[in-house]
Amino acid sequence: SCNLPKLCSASLKNSGADQFSVEYGLAEIASHRHDTNAVIRHLELCLSNAPPESVKWKQAKARLDTLKNSAGQ
C-alpha cells in the first residue's frame, strides 16, 4: 500500500528545505491525519531547529502551546 506521509516526509527531507520547514511540513501532514502526538513531536523539533524567539520559533511555539492547551497537556 502507498504510505503517503512517508513519501511526503522523504520528499520534504530531500527538497533542500531547512530542517525547520521540513518539520513544520510534517506537523501539517500529521495534523491533517489527526495524529496529535506526531504534530507535537514535529513542532517540538521545529523549536530545536529555529533560533529562539525568531519569527519561525514563535510561530511553532504558539501552535504547540495552543495544541497542548486544547489537549490538556
The span from the CA of 20 to the CA of 45, in Å, is 8
For 17-58, the pLDDT digits (tens) are: 688 888 998 999 999 999 999 999 999 999 998 899 999 999
Contact call for residues 31 and 38 (beta carbons, < 8 A): no
Residue 66: pLDDT band with limits 50, 70, 90: very high
Rounded Cα distance between 25 and 7, Å, is 13
pLDDT per residue as tens digits for the range 3-16: 555 556 566 566 55
